């Protein structure tokens, strides 16, 4: 069903991002805000903004009943959940369907399946997509040694009943394996009362790579290429880029193919991201999870494809199918995104809410800023610390790096501390320039040890 009035159930830059595309498509927008956001730019840009509740998210952005009531009472026929908040709650998708609202996202069953790590891995295996190689429960150290030979060292021994790192042992060679197995059995029995163990390949040098897809819900899936998000701190991405340049071309094609196969198998509807671990040493990749929403880093894909992913999302969700054929998609240049978080990297990434006494973004060809902030705005302390995303595009990765460094240099922000100076340090670093980084690089190599304690 075509959407004519869209309820935006989110805040900040993604609310603004959705409103912009809706406006261009001639769709009216109603934004549900908390009292803390009622004077913000997204509220001003929407055709109408309604105040759901007080500032705490649980009384506003996370209250499914309030959001549905507001959407229905304002005559909306579609709902966009953005990312975070309720975007991956199957309940919202289900109840939108019950109330006759077009949910701009996957079906509730899909969100449910993809939201659970084990069921998502089961879908991947059923679709023939590779997951981290490993074994089932092993009877003894001898069986473990045989399995480890097949998997290739290093391997990690894990407790079947475990989690959170307990009962995990690394083995780099057959010598170490037997001792580690006995140790791990003992610890698993002590910690969980269950000594069963299995082993997995250990990925020592990993990169985080992902594939953007759009599905029509009927089993047709188009991919919009890949992204590399290996610069992370505590699993939070800080720098994202597209395309992936650290993998051989044939492997990248296999990566796209895996993502498409998996989502076609799941009859995926809407925008999704299939995340993989890239094993740099073995030149192999393994499925991790599917994010069944639009992602923070979607702009880098938009910059190199020239496609508006929010528009594709709306089209796919409202039965309009996929508006582009795979063959018609081309990738041009290189894009990098730096997240601007109101945090102080010099003080252990402490959140730094406050008032923006100055906010002068850079401008020029190839520079894009996705942000809802204006000079004088208050960064409220209630929500995620991200105040925007700076995105640049260049002809090559090298050109994009230089463009990003210039853009950050031209960006003046006063009143709050942000992660932008750190972004510049990362991007200017020889390891980043030579693309010799892993998901551990930022914490292990760049940040002083005190910061990652």
Partner 1 sequence: MPMKPSDVEVLIELFEASDWQEMHLEYQGEELFLSKSADAAGLQTGTVAIGASPALPTHASASLDTPGGALTPSPRGTIDPDRTGWEPLKAANLGTFYRAPNPEAPPYVREGSAVTPDSEVCLIEVMKLFTTIRAGLSGTVREIVARDGEMVEYGAVLMWIEPNA
DSSP state for residue 58 in the 8-state scheme = G
Decide if residue 36 touches partner 1 (CB under 8 A): yes
User: Residues with Cβ < 8 Å from 236, sequence gap 6 or more?
Assistant: none
Q: Looking only at Cα atoms, what is the longest distance across the chain?
A: 68
Decide if residue 35 touches partner 1 (CB under 8 A): yes
Decide if residue 254 touches partner 1 (CB under 8 A): no
CB of 382 to partner 1, least distance (A): 8
CB of 69 to partner 1, least distance (A): 5
Closer to partner 1 by CB, 384 or 443: give it: 384
Decide if residue 60 touches partner 1 (CB under 8 A): yes
Decide if residue 70 touches partner 1 (CB under 8 A): yes
Binding segment for partner 1 (CB under 8 A), chosen from 55-63, 174-182, 234-242, 298-306, is 55-63
Q: Segment 309-348, which members bind partner 1 (CB under 8 A)?
A: none
**Which residue among 39, 91, 395, 414 contacts partner 1 (CB under 8 A)?**
39
**Which residue among 69, 89, 265, 406 contacts partner 1 (CB under 8 A)?**
69
Decide if residue 62 touches partner 1 (CB under 8 A): no
Which sign, positive or negative, has the C-alpha torsion 142, 147, 149, 153?
negative
Please confirm whether the linkage preceding 243 is cis (ω < 30° from 0).
Answer: yes
Closer to partner 1 by CB, 59 or 431: give it: 59
Number of residues in contact with partner 1 under rule CB under 8 A: 29
- β-partners of residue 200 are 134, 156
**Which residue among 1, 2, 24, 54 contacts partner 1 (CB under 8 A)?**
54
Cα gap 6→115, rounded to integer Å: 25
Decide if residue 446 touches partner 1 (CB under 8 A): no
Burial of 283 (0-12, 13-18, 19+ CB in 10 A): exposed
Cα gap 433→401, rounded to integer Å: 8
Residue with tokens 């699993």: 235
**Which residue among 1, 2, 4, 73 contacts partner 1 (CB under 8 A)?**
73
Residue with tokens 């395309």: 243
CB of 375 to partner 1, least distance (A): 11
CB of 39 to partner 1, least distance (A): 6
Cα gap 28→20, rounded to integer Å: 10
Decide if residue 52 touches partner 1 (CB under 8 A): yes
Binding segment for partner 1 (CB under 8 A), chosen from 69-77, 120-128, 197-205, 387-395, is 69-77
**Which residue among 357, 358, 374, 410 contacts partner 1 (CB under 8 A)?**
357
- Choose, from 17, 293, 339, 397, the residue flagged as catalytic: 293
Encode burial over 179-197: b for 16+ CB neighbours within 10 A, e otherwise. ebbeebbebbeeebeebbb
Decide if residue 51 touches partner 1 (CB under 8 A): yes
CB of 63 to partner 1, least distance (A): 8
Decide if residue 59 touches partner 1 (CB under 8 A): yes
CA separation, residue 409 to residues 344, 405, 425, 430 (Å): 18, 6, 11, 18
Q: Which two tokens stand for residue 264?
A: 């076609």
CB of 55 to partner 1, least distance (A): 5
DSSP state for residue 342 in the 8-state scheme = S
Cα gap 235→244, rounded to integer Å: 19
Torsion, CA 61, CA 65, CA 68, CA 71, rounded to 10: -70
CA separation, residue 245 to residues 253, 258, 259, 336, 399 (Å): 12, 18, 18, 12, 14
Binding segment for partner 1 (CB under 8 A), chosen from 68-76, 136-144, 186-194, 299-307, is 68-76
CB of 415 to partner 1, least distance (A): 9
Closer to partner 1 by CB, 66 or 405: give it: 66
339 carries an active-site annotation: no
Decide if residue 48 touches partner 1 (CB under 8 A): no
Closer to partner 1 by CB, 69 or 425: give it: 69
Q: Segment 366-405, which members bind partner 1 (CB under 8 A)?
A: 376, 378, 380-381
Cα gap 277→387, rounded to integer Å: 28
Decide if residue 74 touches partner 1 (CB under 8 A): yes
CB of 51 to partner 1, least distance (A): 4
Closer to partner 1 by CB, 199 or 352: give it: 352
Encode burial over 33-68: b for 16+ CB neighbours within 10 A, e otherwise. bbebbeebbbbebbeebbbbbebebeebbbbeebbb
| Residues in touch with partner 1 (CB under 8 A) | 32, 34-36, 38-39, 50-56, 59-60, 63, 65-66, 68-70, 73-74, 355, 357, 376, 378, 380-381
Catalytic residues: 293
């Amino acid at each position: 069903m075509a959407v004519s009035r869209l309820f935006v159930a989110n805040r900040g830059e993604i609310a603004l991002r959705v409103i912009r595309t809706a406006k261009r498509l001639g769709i009216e927008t109603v934004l549900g805000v908390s009292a803390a956001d009622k004077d913000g730019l997204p509220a001003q840009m929407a055709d109408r903004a309604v105040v759901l509740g007080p500032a705490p998210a649980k009384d506003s952005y996370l209250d499914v009943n309030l959001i549905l009531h507001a959407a229905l009472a304002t005559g909306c026929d579609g709902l966009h959940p953005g990312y975070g908040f309720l975007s991956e709650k199957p309940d919202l998708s289900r109840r939108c369907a019950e109330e006759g609202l077009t949910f701009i996202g996957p079906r509730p069953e899909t969100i449910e399946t993809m939201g659970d790590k084990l069921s998502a891995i089961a879908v991947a295996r059923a679709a023939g997509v590779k997951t981290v190689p490993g074994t089932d429960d092993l009877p003894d150290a001898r069986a473990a040694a045989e399995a480890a030979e097949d998997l290739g060292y290093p391997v990690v021994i894990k407790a079947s009943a475990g989690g959170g790192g307990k009962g995990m042992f690394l083995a780099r060679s057959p010598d170490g394996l037997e001792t580690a197995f006995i140790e791990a059995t003992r610890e698993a029995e002590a910690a969980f009362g269950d000594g069963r163990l299995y082993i997995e390949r250990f990925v020592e040098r990993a990169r985080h790579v992902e594939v953007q897809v759009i599905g029509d819900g009927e089993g047709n899936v188009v991919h919009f290429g890949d992204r590399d998000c290996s610069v992370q701190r505590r699993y939070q991405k800080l720098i994202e880029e597209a395309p992936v340049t650290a993998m051989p071309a044939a492997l990248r094609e296999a990566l796209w193919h895996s993502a498409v196969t998996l989502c076609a198998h799941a009859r995926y509807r809407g925008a999704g991201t299939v995340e993989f671990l890239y094993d740099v040493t073995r030149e192999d990749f393994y499925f991790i999870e599917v994010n069944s929403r639009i992602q923070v880093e979607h702009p880098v894909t938009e910059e190199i494809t020239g496609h508006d992913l929010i528009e594709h999302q709306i089209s796919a969700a409202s039965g309009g199918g996929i508006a582009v054929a795979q063959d018609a998609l081309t990738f041009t240049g290189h894009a990098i995104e730096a997240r601007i978080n109101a945090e102080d990297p010099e003080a252990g990434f402490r959140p730094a809410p406050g008032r923006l006494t100055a906010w002068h973004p850079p401008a020029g060809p190839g520079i894009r800023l996705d942000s809802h902030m204006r000079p004088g705005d208050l960064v409220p302390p209630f929500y995620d610390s991200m105040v925007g995303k700076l995105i640049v595009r260049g002809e090559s990765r090298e050109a994009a790096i230089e463009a990003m460094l210039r853009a950050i240099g031209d960006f003046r922000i006063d009143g709050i501390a942000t992660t932008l100076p750190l972004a510049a340090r990362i991007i200017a670093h020889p390891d980043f320039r030579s693309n010799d980084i892993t998901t551990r690089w930022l914490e292990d190599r760049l940040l002083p040890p005190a910061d990652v304690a």
